[in-house]
Copies of this chain bind each other. A is one copy, B any other.
Amino acid sequence: MATDDLMTRALDALGDDAPLSVEAIHSLTDAAHVPEPMTIAEVADLLDISPHTLRYYERAGLVEVARDGYGHRVYDAAAVRRLVFLTRMRLSGMPMRDLQHYVALVDAGTETVPERLDMLLEHRDTIRRRIRELTLSLAATEYKIATYGGSTGPDVQDL
Contact = CB atoms under 8 A, between A and B. Distances in A.
Interface in A108-159: 110, 113, 116-117, 120-121, 123-124, 127-145, 147-149, 155-159
Given A141-B127, A147-B2, A136 B24 contact: yes
A148 B132 contact: no
Contacts of A137: 88-89, 91-92, 127
Contacts of A104: none
A85 B134 CA distance: 14
Contacts of A92: 133-134, 137-138, 141
A66 interface: no
Contacts of A138: 13, 92, 124, 127-128, 131
Interface of A: 2, 5-6, 9-10, 13-14, 18, 20-21, 24, 28, 78, 81-82, 85, 88-89, 91-92, 103, 106, 110, 113, 116-117, 120-121, 123-124, 127-145, 147-149, 155-159
